[in-house]
């Protein structure tokens, strides 16, 4: 029976002009989005490779120099792009592309793409994730809104009832009629993306597993929208009201709730301003050891402790250059301060995330958005991960430079210069994003909420058909 | 006939529960969005106020320290941070160059969530490294804010659609169109009158809600609020005119609603996102990554020349220039420090100018896409009124850079002449004024385009469907 119902629904949907036109438009828009995004990402990726290589050349081409001056000269860490960012660019354009790694200071990632774009960019861009998250649910609504209302408007519902068809079976058949064409389009788009991504050599290591999970998440998302469309169609008086009601749900879910969540999160857990953050860091730094200031109390204390530890009476007697040693201790103190302040920022970020998470009960869009970005490695957590890795590298870099200064020169010899061959000996910055399993582990709550939505949507579908 | 039609329409609207629902909905949406906007602005005001208070307190402390030093007392500072040194004052007591919100800022978040609203340029800072992006969650930037602009640009058209999609089709479906057809009426005119009544009712309701929100936010009615009402009314007029054209096609209510929602998707979602993506693909933003590279390569070249002037160590730590040096040596090093800095600025400036010119060209080109959608036009106008547009932030950045130069130039002669900084000079500090005169208002042209679009749709509708086509509609 269910196969007969599904076949009938599918035939009806596929024959309808609405679906044909809308489906064609969606496929056309997807093709445009994939085409433009591929071109854009290839050029960005190429620029990043070029920038990273040039930066390394600039670093290695330094002349003989005092290692601390090289530390100030610094280097850049460029954030790589990952294959699935072609499908979901997440928050990429709202975070910087590179971090300047220098002595004494942890810098924020600079040059966010959105800051160089006009206000037009804030409407969103026609990228594959825009189509997957916003447009395809609209297509689901378009084909599902009149699933029952049209039967009522034509009077065919009574005919169906008179045949003794179970209304729940009918509803499930209608759900399949809506879901199957959408699932075919989705599977096709993801297969195409998979083939495209595995053929693009310069896109990093591509994982079919991540792509498959991403596809399943979107399929669950559309299954929820299909259920809600059928439920509303079942309850509405006519197709017009069903469509308006479903569109209202779409707007609340995809636009209004995420925006309201932002307002709630920012009002309750505001980030400090950049200036206030920098001043708080500077204040904490001033209370501790500054590698350049041997006259401060902290410096005097370190001096006493070092002399005692090495059982010598003057700094000249130490088996290393105390200036380099003090610089390193200063770096360690500053790194701790940055760690403390960035941990506070992360706490704000976690509190804000919890607001979004709480509101996922009002919007299936939110868990899907967060899951999709995480799998594409374009979410905020991946950015934090990159930023922390860059900071870890910065600390190691400073240590290598200060150690060279301390080990190879005498106390007071600021004229010491490391040989230019030393710069190439320092390992290059390399970054590995969180693994697929880590991503899934971090997103357990999002997966649970999405599953909850799916279960509730099906439960709603079966309960609402009682009314028929 | 006109007055009878208007009376009938008004009676039917006021008897219908739709109007009450829409009134409540608009009221709730406007107040919630207005409240969000007010919170956002309050945070901004508070941040600036805190920075200004801290600056004033620092000035008072500096004055006390200067008194103590002149009276021969010790102060709890490292010698190189003594406020008797003009360079130390220029670095340690910067001014707050603030971008204050205006009375209408709460209506549109625009670009305000992305950029800093106060900067404190210091004397030894490089103007090209001044950062303007704010510490904010990229998730917030991605999701956007629930502000009045969102209510107007995204939600208002939907309210209009729900209030106007079935005017003719309901009459047809209920059979009353036959009665109307029996009277000597031009159907286009009849529909126009009905829609005009609805347009006036919705505009009135919206103006009332907005007016109340403005009053609660302490706004006076002035030229700017008039421009706000004009923009919103013209944007509503466009959607009503579209509803007029679609109603005239004589199709069923469900067909009408699908077509109108289709237009909403096209104008509010598809065109802006397609335009944004397409514009960047055709005319990409010049690469920042490559700019960083070019700047680094250039700097690597300049470093060798700088080394001839002053050692790297003091270039990186100018505060230590005076340590272990007599006053002549200290002055010589200071001059060398600024000469070395100028050398980099002069070499990097052409590169930055070229980049900024290219970026400006790209943005000008992209901004033309605004004319493809009334939603973009309305958003741009609202951002301009709220002073949260890209143009406002571009101008603010330029003003701050100019001020940074002014700040440095204020202290440089004192530094070079080896002068002692005195308390009396505090009152002569340059102050930051944000000169917005260079920002061109897009409102006249945007409003004209909206008016032309709305009128165009009405004329097309009025001309193509006359009284003689009633039969066609009734089929």
Give DSSP secondary structure letters for B45-56. Answer: HHHHHHHHHHHH
Q: CA of B315: which chain A residue's CA is closest?
A: A69
pLDDT, residue B319, reads 60
Q: Which residues on adjacent β-strands are paired with residue B133? A: B115
Q: A373-377, B16-20, B117-121 — which is least confidently predicted?
A: B16-20
Task: Copy the structure tokens of residue B268.
Answer: 């509010």
> Low-confidence residues of chain A, pLDDT below 70?
1, 201-205, 467-468
- Between helix A274-286 and helix B17-70 the angle, nearest 10°, is 30
On chain B, the residues whose CB falls within 8 A of the CB of A123 are: 269, 272-273, 276, 375-376, 379
Disruptive mutation site among B136, B286, B289 for chain A (greatest number of A CBs within 10 Å):
B289
Q: Is B110 left (phi over 0), alpha (psi -120 to 50) or beta?
A: left
B270 and A50: CB-CB below 8 Å?
A: no
pLDDT, residue A80, reads 85
On chain B, the residues whose CB falls within 8 A of the CB of A125 are: 273, 276-277, 280
Disruptive mutation site among A69, A122, A153, A277 for chain B (greatest number of B CBs within 10 Å):
A122
Nearest to residue A181, comparing CAs of A248, A229, A238? Answer: A229
Residue B462 has pLDDT above 80, yes or no: no
Residue B227 has pLDDT above 70, yes or no: yes
On chain A, the residues whose CB falls within 8 A of the CB of B140 are: 262, 265-266, 352
Nearest to residue B280, comparing CAs of B354, B363, B357? Answer: B363
Nearest to residue A408, comparing CAs of A397, A398, A419? Answer: A419
On chain A, the residues whose CB falls within 8 A of the CB of B254 are: 146, 238-240, 243
Q: Is A95 left (phi over 0), alpha (psi -120 to 50) or beta?
A: beta
A286-316 b/e (C-beta count within 10 Å ≥ 16 → b)? eebbbbbbeebebbeebeeebbeeeeeeebe
pLDDT, residue A33, reads 85
pLDDT, residue B308, reads 65
Backbone phi, psi, residue A99, to 5°: -120, 130
Are the C-beta atoms of residues B153 and B239 closer than 8 Å to each other? no
Total number of domains constituting chain A: 1
Element spanning A75, H or E: strand A75-78
Element spanning B13, H or E: helix B2-15
B139 and A95: CB-CB below 8 Å?
A: no
Q: Angle at CA B362, nearest 5°, toward B358 and B364?
A: 115
CA–CA separation, A126 and B275 (whole Å): 8
DSSP string, A223-239: HHHHHHHHHHHHH-SSH
pLDDT, residue A7, reads 80
Task: Judge whether A124 is closer than 8 Å to chain B, CB to CB.
Answer: yes
Closest-CA distance, A155 to chain B, in angstroms, reads 16
On chain A, the residues whose CB falls within 8 A of the CB of B369 are: 120
Radius of gyration of chain A, Cα coordinates, nearest whole angstrom: 29
Q: What is the DSSP letter of A102?
A: E
Largest pairwise CA distance in chain B? 105
- Between helix B288-309 and helix A17-60 the angle, nearest 10°, is 20
Task: Copy the structure tokens of residue B133.
Answer: 């992006």
pLDDT, residue B468, reads 46
Closest-CA distance, A248 to chain B, in angstroms, reads 9
Q: Angle at CA B391, nearest 5°, toward B387 and B396?
A: 75
On chain B, the residues whose CB falls within 8 A of the CB of A267 are: 36, 39, 43
CA–CA separation, B387 and B397 (whole Å): 14
Per-residue pLDDT tens over the stretch A3-25: 777 787 778 777 777 777 778 88
CA–CA separation, B6 and B24 (whole Å): 23
Closest-CA distance, A154 to chain B, in angstroms, reads 13
Residue B182 has pLDDT above 70, yes or no: no
- The domain of A7 spans 2-467
pLDDT, residue A119, reads 81
- Count of other CB atoms within 10 angstroms of residue A382: 24
pLDDT, residue A224, reads 97
Averaging pLDDT over each range in B10-14, B96-100, B125-129, which range is the top one?
Answer: B96-100
CA–CA separation, B248 and B474 (whole Å): 11
What's the Cα-to-Cα distance from A217 to each of A186, A367, B143, B357, rounded to whole Å?
11, 9, 20, 44
Q: Average of pLDDT values for B149-169? A: 88
Torsion of the alpha carbons at A460, A461, A466 and A468, rounded to the nearest 10 = 130
B146 and A146: CB-CB below 8 Å?
A: no
CA–CA separation, A398 and A67 (whole Å): 9
Are the C-beta atoms of residues B141 and A91 closer than 8 Å to each other? yes
Provide the number of CB pairs (under 8 Å) joining chain A to chain B.
254
Closest-CA distance, A1 to chain B, in angstroms, reads 30
Are the C-beta atoms of residues B158 and B447 closer than 8 Å to each other? no
Residue written as tokens 């259920």?
Answer: A227
A69 and B363: CB-CB below 8 Å?
A: no
pLDDT, residue B184, reads 65
Q: Which of A68, A262, A273 sits opposite B47 (nearest CB)?
A: A273
Backbone phi, psi, residue B461, to 5°: -65, -45
pLDDT, residue B21, reads 80
A125 and B287: CB-CB below 8 Å?
A: no
Q: CA of A74: which chain B residue's CA is closest?
A: B296
Answer with the residue of higher pLDDT: B286 or B101: B101
Residue written as tokens 């501790």?
Answer: A288
Q: Average of pLDDT values for B223-239? A: 94
Q: How far, in whole angstroms, is CA A257 from its chain's centroid? A: 19
Backbone phi, psi, residue A392, to 5°: -60, -40
Task: Give the burial class of A454: count Cβ atoms within 10 A of its Cβ; 0-12 exposed, 13-18 middle, 19 or more buried.
Answer: middle
Q: Which of B146, B258, B320 sits opposite A292 (nearest CB)?
A: B320
pLDDT band at B230 (very low <50, low <70, confident <90, very high): very high
Task: Copy the structure tokens of residue A99.
Answer: 């971090």
Task: Give the burial class of B392: count Cβ atoms within 10 A of its Cβ; 0-12 exposed, 13-18 middle, 19 or more buried.
Answer: buried
3-class state of residue B436 by DSSP: coil
Residue B413 has pLDDT above 50, yes or no: yes
pLDDT, residue A281, reads 93
Task: Judge whether A17 is closer than 8 Å to chain B, CB to CB.
Answer: no
3-class state of residue B471 by DSSP: helix
Residue B305 has pLDDT above 70, yes or no: no
Disruptive mutation site among B57, B93, B116, B133 for chain A (greatest number of A CBs within 10 Å):
B133
Residue B165 has pLDDT above 90, yes or no: no
B51 and A110: CB-CB below 8 Å?
A: no
Closest-CA distance, B211 to chain A, in angstroms, reads 22
Among A residues 313-332, those touching chain B with beta carbons less than 8 Å apart: none
Task: Judge whether A409 is closer than 8 Å to chain B, CB to CB.
Answer: no
B250-268 b/e (C-beta count within 10 Å ≥ 16 → b)? bbbbbbbbbbbbbbbbbbb
B146 and A259: CB-CB below 8 Å?
A: yes
Q: What is the DSSP letter of B127?
A: G
Q: Which residues on adjacent β-strands are paired with residue A370? A: none
Task: Judge whether A467 is closer than 8 Å to chain B, CB to CB.
Answer: no
Residue B329 has pLDDT above 90, yes or no: no
Task: Copy the structure tokens of residue B134.
Answer: 């704010």
Task: Copy the structure tokens of residue A171.
Answer: 């509803």
Task: Copy the structure tokens of residue B384.
Answer: 């301009």
On chain A, the residues whose CB falls within 8 A of the CB of B273 are: 123-126, 130
pLDDT, residue B73, reads 84
Q: Is A65 left (phi over 0), alpha (psi -120 to 50) or beta?
A: beta
List all residues 6 or more positions away from B444 whose beta carbon is below 8 Å from its beta carbon: none
Q: What is the DSSP letter of A99?
A: E
Averaging pLDDT over each range in A387-391, B169-173, B301-305, B411-415, which range is the top one?
Answer: A387-391
Q: Average of pLDDT values for B357-367? A: 80
Backbone phi, psi, residue A373, to 5°: -65, -40
Cα dihedral sign for B337, B342, B347, B349?
A: positive
CA–CA separation, B311 and B337 (whole Å): 9
Task: Judge whether B115 is closer than 8 Å to chain A, CB to CB.
Answer: yes
Closest-CA distance, B90 to chain A, in angstroms, reads 16
| Beta-carbon-side half-sphere exposure of residue B459 (alpha carbons within 13 Å) | 6
Task: Copy the structure tokens of residue A22.
Answer: 């809308």
Task: Judge whether B452 is closer than 8 Å to chain A, CB to CB.
Answer: no
CA–CA separation, A106 and A339 (whole Å): 9
pLDDT, residue A24, reads 83
What's the Cα-to-Cα distance from A440 to each of A431, B95, B171, rounded to whole Å?
20, 48, 55
3-class state of residue A292 by DSSP: coil
pLDDT, residue B467, reads 45
CA–CA separation, A417 and A68 (whole Å): 9
A240 and B257: CB-CB below 8 Å?
A: yes
Torsion of the alpha carbons at A155, A160, A161 and A166, rounded to the nearest 10 = -140
B269 and A124: CB-CB below 8 Å?
A: yes
On chain B, the residues whose CB falls within 8 A of the CB of A120 are: 272, 275-276, 279, 366-367, 369-370, 376
Q: CA of B48: which chain A residue's CA is closest?
A: A273
A349 and B137: CB-CB below 8 Å?
A: yes
CA–CA separation, B107 and B346 (whole Å): 41
Task: Judge whether A97 is closer than 8 Å to chain B, CB to CB.
Answer: yes
Q: CA of B391: which chain A residue's CA is closest?
A: A118
- Count of other CB atoms within 10 angstroms of residue A225: 26
pLDDT, residue A277, reads 93
CA–CA separation, A121 and B111 (whole Å): 10
Averaging pLDDT over each range in A197-211, A394-408, B170-184, B287-301, which range is the top one?
Answer: A394-408
Nearest to residue A92, comparing CAs of A77, A106, A82, A104? Answer: A82
């Amino acid at each position: 029976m269910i196969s007969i119902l599904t076949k009938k629904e599918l035939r009806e949907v596929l024959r309808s002009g609405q679906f044909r036109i809308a489906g064609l438009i969606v496929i056309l828009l997807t093709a445009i989005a994939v085409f433009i995004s591929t071109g854009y990402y290839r050029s960005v990726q190429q620029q990043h490779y070029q920038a990273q290589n040039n930066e390394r050349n600039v670093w290695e081409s330094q002349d003989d120099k005092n290692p601390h001056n090289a530390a100030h000269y610094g280097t850049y860490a460029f954030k790589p792009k990952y294959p699935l960012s072609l499908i979901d660019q997440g928050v990429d354009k709202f975070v910087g592309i590179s971090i300047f790694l220098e002595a004494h200071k942890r810098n924020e990632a600079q040059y966010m793409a959105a800051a160089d774009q006009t206000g037009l960019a804030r409407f969103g861009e026609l990228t594959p994730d825009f189509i997957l998250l916003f447009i395809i649910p609209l297509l689901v609504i378009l084909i599902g809104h009149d699933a029952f209302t049209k039967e009522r408007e034509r009077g065919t519902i009574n005919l169906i009832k008179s045949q003794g068809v179970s209304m729940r079976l009918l509803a499930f058949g209608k759900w399949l009629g809506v879901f199957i064409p959408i699932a075919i389009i989705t599977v096709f788009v993801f297969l195409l993306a998979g083939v495209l991504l595995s053929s693009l050599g310069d896109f990093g290591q591509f994982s079919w597993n991540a792509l498959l999970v991403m596809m399943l998440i979107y399929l669950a998302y559309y299954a929820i929208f299909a259920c809600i469309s059928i439920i509303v169609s079942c309850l509405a008086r006519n197709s017009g009201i069903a469509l308006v009601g479903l569109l209202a749900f779409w707007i609340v879910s995809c636009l209004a709730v995420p925006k309201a969540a932002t307002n709630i999160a920012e009002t309750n857990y505001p980030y400090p301003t950049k200036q206030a953050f920098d001043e708080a860091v500077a204040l904490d730094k001033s209370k501790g050891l500054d590698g350049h200031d041997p006259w401060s109390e902290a410096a005097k204390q370190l001096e006493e402790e070092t002399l005692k530890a090495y059982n010598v009476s003057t700094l000249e007697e130490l088996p290393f250059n105390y200036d380099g040693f003090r610089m390193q201790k200063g770096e360690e103190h500053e790194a701790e301060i940055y760690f403390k302040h960035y941990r506070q920022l992360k706490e704000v970020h976690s509190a804000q995330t919890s607001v979004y998470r709480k509101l996922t009960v009002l919007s299936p869009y939110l868990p899907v958005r967060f899951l999709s970005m995480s799998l594409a490695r374009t979410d905020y957590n991946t950015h934090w991960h990159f930023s922390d890795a860059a900071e870890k590298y910065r600390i190691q870099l400073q240590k290598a430079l200060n150690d060279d200064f301390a080990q190879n020169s005498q106390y007071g010899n600021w004229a010491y210069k490391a040989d230019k061959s030393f710069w190439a000996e320092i390992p290059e910055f390399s970054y590995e994003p969180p693994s697929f399993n880590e991503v899934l582990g971090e997103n357990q709550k999002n997966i649970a909420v999405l599953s909850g939505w799916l279960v509730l949507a099906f439960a709603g579908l079966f309960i609402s058909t009682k009314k028929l | 006939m006109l007055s009878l039609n208007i009376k009938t329409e008004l009676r039917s609207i006021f008897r219908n529960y739709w109007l009450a629902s829409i009134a409540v909905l608009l009221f709730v949406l406007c107040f919630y969005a207005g409240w969000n906007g007010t919170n956002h602005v309050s945070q901004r005001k508070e941040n600036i106020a805190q920075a200004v208070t801290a600056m004033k307190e620092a000035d008072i402390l500096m004055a006390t320290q200067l008194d103590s030093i002149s009276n021969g007392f010790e102060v709890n500072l490292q010698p190189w941070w003594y406020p008797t040194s003009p360079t130390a004052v220029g670095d340690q007591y910067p001014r707050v160059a603030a971008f204050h919100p205006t009375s209408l800022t709460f209506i549109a978040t625009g670009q305000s969530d992305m950029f800093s609203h106060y900067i404190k340029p210091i004397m030894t800072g490089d103007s090209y490294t001044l950062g303007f992006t704010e510490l904010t969650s990229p998730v917030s930037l991605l999701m956007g804010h629930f502000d009045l602009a969102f209510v107007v640009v995204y939600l208002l058209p939907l309210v209009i659609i729900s209030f106007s999609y079935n005017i003719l089709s309901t009459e047809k479906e209920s059979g009353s169109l036959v009665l109307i057809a029996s009277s000597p009426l031009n159907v286009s005119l009849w529909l126009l009158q009905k829609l005009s009544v609805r347009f006036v009712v919705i505009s009135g309701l919206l103006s009332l809600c907005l007016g109340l929100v403005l009053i609660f936010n302490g706004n006076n009615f002035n030229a700017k609020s008039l421009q706000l009402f004009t923009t919103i009314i013209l944007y509503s007029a466009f959607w009503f005119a579209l509803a007029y054209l679609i109603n005239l096609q004589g199709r069923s209510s469900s067909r009408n609603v699908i077509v109108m929602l289709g237009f909403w998707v096209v104008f509010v979602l598809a065109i802006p996102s397609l335009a944004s993506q397409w514009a960047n693909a055709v005319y990409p933003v010049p690469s920042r990554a490559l700019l960083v590279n070019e700047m680094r390569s250039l700097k690597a070249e300049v470093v060798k020349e700088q080394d001839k002037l002053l050692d790297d160590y003091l270039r990186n730590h100018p505060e230590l220039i005076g340590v272990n040096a007599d006053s002549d040596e200290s002055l010589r090093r200071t001059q060398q420090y600024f000469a070395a800095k100028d050398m980099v600025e002069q070499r990097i400036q052409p590169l930055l100018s070229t980049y900024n010119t290219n970026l400006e060209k790209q943005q000008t080109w992209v901004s033309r896409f605004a004319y493809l959608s009334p939603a973009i036009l309305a958003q741009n106008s609202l951002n301009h009124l709220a002073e949260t547009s890209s143009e406002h932030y571009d101008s603010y950045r330029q003003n701050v850079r100019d001020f940074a130069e002014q700040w440095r130039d204020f202290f440089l002669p004192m530094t070079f002449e080896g002068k002692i900084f005195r308390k009396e000079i505090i009152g002569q500090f340059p102050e930051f004024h944000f000169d917005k005169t260079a920002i061109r208002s897009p409102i006249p042209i945007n409003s004209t385009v909206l008016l032309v679009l709305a009128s165009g749709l009405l004329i097309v509708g009025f001309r193509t469907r006359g009284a003689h086509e009633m039969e066609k509609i009734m089929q």
